C-alpha cells in the first residue's frame, strides 16, 4: 500500500534523527522527487526546540541558492510537522 500525504507519495526512509524521519517522496502532480522531513511535535516540545525549528523553517524559506537545500513547503499539522526540502543526490569525486 502506497502512503500519501497531500500531493506527495511517500517512499522509503532516507534517515532518522532525534525528532523524526526523512522520507523519499514524489510530488504526484509534477513528478518532482523530494525529501520529506517528518517531525514529531510532541518530541520537539519535550526538548523545548519549537523556536529552533521555527528559525530553521524561516531561514530555509529565505535562502534560495543552487548549492543549498531549498525548502519547497512547510506544513505544520497535528501531531507532525512536514518540511519538504529538495532532494540532494550524492556526489562522487
**Cell (9 digits) for 3:** 502512503
Q: What is the pLDDT of residues 20-69, one digit of tens each?
A: 898 898 999 999 888 888 888 888 888 888 888 888 888 888 888 777 77
CA distance 14 to 34: 11
Is residue 6's pLDDT more than 60? yes
CA distance 1 to 44: 29
Answer whether 74's CB lies under 8 Å from 59's CB: no
CA distance 90 to 70: 16
Q: What is the pLDDT of residues 66-86, one digit of tens each?
A: 777 777 887 777 665 666 766
CA distance 36 to 23: 5
Amino acid at each position: 500500500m502506497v502512503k500519501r500525504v497531500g500531493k506527495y507519495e511517500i517512499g522509503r526512509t532516507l534517515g532518522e534523527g532525534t525528532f523524526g524521519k526523512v522520507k523519499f517522496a514524489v510530488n504526484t502532480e509534477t513528478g518532482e522527487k523530494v525529501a520529506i522531513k517528518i517531525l514529531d511535535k510532541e518530541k520537539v516540545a519535550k526538548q523545548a526546540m519549537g523556536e529552533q525549528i521555527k528559525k530553521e523553517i524561516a531561514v530555509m524559506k529565505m535562502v534560495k541558492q543552487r548549492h543549498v537545500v531549498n525548502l519547497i513547503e512547510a506544513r505544520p499539522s497535528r501531531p507532525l510537522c512536514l518540511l519538504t526540502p529538495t532532494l540532494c543526490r550524492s556526489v562522487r569525486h
